[in-house]
């Protein structure tokens, strides 16, 4: 089947029988819901770019499984260059959407499960990898959107899955039947889950003996019986239900997260990719995390580019573009965004081949990349808020701007330098507002903090991946405690 167009993707969602809940009500037509539609538009962009000749090199690749053209979001990374292209594609999509375009989680999960299942089969003689390859071919041939479902709701964070007072705090197998398994639990904060055709489920953390039922990876259609989506609130989301577009800021695009409840969902064996192999949970989690932490070195600098452009525009609208401290702050913003991108690219070029044949980014550098992402967008946001001015949070509504009585005051008192209209100035303010406070959810801040793992998860990996004994040896040699290096014989 050909690569889907944006329109074909949107139409394909209409065929889903998904159970979606928002504001306490069941949503019968989620595709046209004004709160949800911007997030669908953001994913539609990932389909659109595959048909843009100038972006084909980034957005389309030849499948290593079928030999056919496939969207990069469904592909396996078969070289470091594939990962570099992924990062560049993500930056471009961040620039064009100004938000999370949601399809990366599935792409990163596909690559982690592909390499992990190969190694499970090597050890256990199972056939997970063969099944997984068949499933990936189906995804590629139908150009489906896949949700990467890792994070469990976790209940008491101090207890392992099997020790939780409520056994459903981590997704687990509740029944094994001749034809498949039945799973129960819930996945939290699931990006783009309502907008995806399929869900790829993985364990969320290292499993230990006793956690066998929780060591499960499988794929399910997102409208399977027993799947319920409870849509996550976004700051100021009800502005999308109002007249006009100005108050929404980024009106066209937005992110999406949902609590995904799996209430006794049946999964046939051919879609089960791990069932009880506790010792491989860490591999799957770490590989997914490295792929996904790397991804943030693409999308977040791209979104940062929009924020930098909006901030520089506000400086112009306010008549201060040449002020030395403003220029310095905007240069600092570029430095931060480019540093994020440099990290994202670095872990690709240092990537290594897995035993299954696909490539894995350098785990240490991928964690450094995401660690920076938990910090730099906060500084970028702080600088944007500094330069934009207080109107960022005090600007009148579009209804006031259009009002026959007070509109003339808004137009007069909100106009900018060099005859910039009040409307343009307000539009730029609400764009910044939506990006930094979260209306285009998830906000540039909190998603950067927790998406792909909270900062401590990266710290643990950075500590684990650092060869401290080697660093100490280097110091001992130069200090003369160990024998110094000889320059000549």
Ligand X SMILES: Cc1cc2nc3c(=O)[nH]c(=O)nc-3n(C[C@H](O)[C@H](O)[C@H](O)COP(=O)(O)OP(=O)(O)OC[C@H]3O[C@@H](n4cnc5c(N)ncnc54)[C@H](O)[C@@H]3O)c2cc1C
Minimum separation from the CB atom of position 264 to ligand X (A): 20
The reply to whether 148 sits near ligand X by the rule CB under 6 A is yes
286 assigned to active site: no
Residues 6+ apart with CB under 8 A from 410: 396, 400, 401, 403, 422, 426
Tell me if residue 9 is catalytic.
no
CB 332 within 8 A of CB 383: yes
60: its two tokens: 């389309």
Q: Which of 3, 42, 99, 105 binds ligand X (CB under 6 A)?
A: 105
452 binding ligand X? (CB under 6 A): yes
Tokens of 57: 């090199």
Cβ closest to ligand X, residue 35 vs residue 428: 35
Shortest distance, position 42 Cβ to ligand X, whole Å: 13
> E strands within 136-287?
146-149, 172-177, 180-191, 198-201, 216-221, 227-231, 257-268, 272-275
* Residue 228 binds ligand X (CB under 6 A): no
Tell me whether the omega of the peptide bond preceding residue 382 falls within 30 degrees of 0, making it cis: no
User: The tokens 């259009």 sit on which residue?
Assistant: 402
Task: Report the distance separating Cα 214 and Cα 203, nearest Å.
Answer: 7
Is 257 catalytic? The answer is: yes
Shorter beta-carbon distance to ligand X: residue 136 or 458: 458
Annotated active-site residue 100? The verdict is yes
Q: Is 348 a catalytic site residue? A: no
Work out the angle between the directed axes of helices 376-388 and 281-317 (0-180°, nearest 10): 20
82-86, long-range: CB within 8 Å, 24+ apart, which pairs? 82/359, 83/294, 83/347, 83/348, 83/351, 83/359, 83/361, 84/345, 84/348, 84/349, 85/57, 85/58, 85/61, 86/295, 86/298, 86/348
Give the nearer residue to ligand X in terms of CB position, either 64 or 215.
215
- CB of residue 354 to ligand X, shortest distance in Å: 21
Closer residue to ligand X, CB minimum distance, 140 or 440 = 440
Catalytic annotation, pick one of 296, 317, 359, 444: 296
Catalytic residue, candidates 99, 100, 347, 348: 100
How far apart are the C-alpha atoms of 112 and 99, rounded to whole Å? 24
| Catalytic site residue from 33, 172, 292, 341 | 292
Would residue 104 show up in a list of annotated catalytic residues for this protein? yes
Binder of ligand X out of 7, 421, 454, 466 (CB under 6 A): 454
Binding residue for ligand X, selected from 51, 55, 133, 189, defined by CB under 6 A: 189
- Closest distance between ligand X and the C-beta of residue 260, in Å? 9
- From the list 46, 70, 104, 381, the catalytic residue is 104
> x/- string (CB under 6 A) for ligand X, residues 420-449?
----------------------x---xx--
The answer to whether 147 touches 196, Cβ cutoff 8 Å, is: yes
Q: Catalytic one among 119, 198, 257, 277?
A: 257
Name the minimum Å distance from CB 286 to ligand X. Answer: 13
Among 263, 375, 450, 462, binds ligand X (CB under 6 A): 450
Annotated catalytic residue, options 70, 74, 151, 191: 191
Binding of ligand X at residue 191 (CB under 6 A)? yes
DSSP string, 386-448: HHH-GGGGTPPPHHHHH-TTTHHHHHHHS--GGG--HHHHHHHHHHHHHHHHSTTSS-TTHHH
Catalytic residues: 100, 104, 191, 257, 292, 296, 299, 447
Applying CB under 6 A, the residues found at the interface with ligand X are 105, 148-151, 154, 157-158, 187-191, 257, 442, 446-447, 450-454, 456
């Amino acid at each position: 089947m050909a690569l889907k167009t944006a329109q074909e993707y949107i139409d394909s969602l209409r065929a889903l029988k998904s159970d979606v809940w928002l504001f306490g009500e069941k949503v019968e037509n989620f595709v046209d819901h004004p709160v949800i539609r911007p997030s669908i538009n953001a994913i539609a962009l990932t389909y659109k770019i595959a048909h843009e000749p100038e972006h084909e090199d980034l957005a389309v690749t030849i499948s290593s499984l079928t030999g056919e053209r496939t969207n990069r979001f469904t592909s396996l990374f078969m070289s470091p260059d594939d990962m570099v292209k992924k990062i560049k594609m993500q930056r471009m999509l961040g620039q064009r959407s100004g938000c999370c375009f949601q399809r990366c989680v599935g792409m990163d999960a596909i690559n982690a499960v592909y390499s992990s299942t190969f190694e499970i089969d090597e050890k256990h003689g199972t056939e997970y990898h063969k099944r997984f390859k068949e499933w990936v071919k189906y995804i590629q041939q139908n150009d489906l959107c896949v949700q990467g479902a890792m994070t469990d709701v976790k209940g008491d964070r101090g207890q392992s899955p099997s020790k939780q007072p409520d056994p459903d705090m981590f997704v687990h197998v509740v029944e094994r039947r001749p034809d498949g398994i039945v799973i129960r639990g819930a996945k939290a904060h699931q990006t783009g889950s309502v907008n995806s055709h399929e869900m790829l489920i993985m364990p969320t953390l290292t499993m230990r003996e006793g956690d066998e039922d929780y060591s499960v990876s499988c794929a399910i259609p997102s409208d399977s019986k027993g799947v319920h989506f409870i849509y996550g609130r976004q700051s100021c989301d009800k502005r999308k239900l109002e007249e006009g577009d100005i108050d929404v800021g980024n009106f066209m695009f937005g992110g999406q997260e949902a609590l995904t409840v799996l209430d006794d969902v049946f999964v046939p064996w051919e879609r089960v990719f791990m069932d009880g192999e506790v010792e491989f949970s860490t591999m799957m989690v770490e590989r997914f995390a490295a792929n996904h932490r790397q991804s943030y070195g693409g999308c977040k600098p791209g979104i940062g580019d929009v924020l930098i452009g909006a901030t520089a525009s506000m400086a112009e609208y306010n008549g201060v573009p040449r002020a030395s401290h403003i220029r310095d702050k905007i240069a600092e913003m570029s430095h931060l965004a480019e540093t994020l991108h440099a990290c994202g690219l670095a872990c690709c070029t240092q990537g290594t081949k897995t035993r299954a044949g696909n490539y894995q980014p350098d785990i240490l550098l991928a964690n450094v990349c995401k660690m920076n992402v938990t910090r730099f967008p906060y500084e970028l946001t702080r600088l944007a808020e500094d330069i934009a001015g207080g109107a960022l949070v005090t600007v009148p509504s579009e209804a006031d701007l259009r009002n026959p009585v007070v509109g003339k005051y808004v137009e007069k008192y909100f106009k900018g330098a060099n005859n910039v209209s009040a409307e343009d100035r307000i539009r730029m303010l609400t764009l910044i507002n939506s990006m930094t406070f979260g209306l285009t959810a998830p906000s540039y801040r909190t998603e950067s903090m927790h998406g792909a793992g909270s900062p401590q998860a990266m710290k643990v990996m950075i500590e684990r991946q650092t060869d401290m004994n080697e660093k100490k040896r280097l110091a001992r040699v130069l200090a003369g405690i160990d024998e110094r290096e000889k320059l000549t014989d």
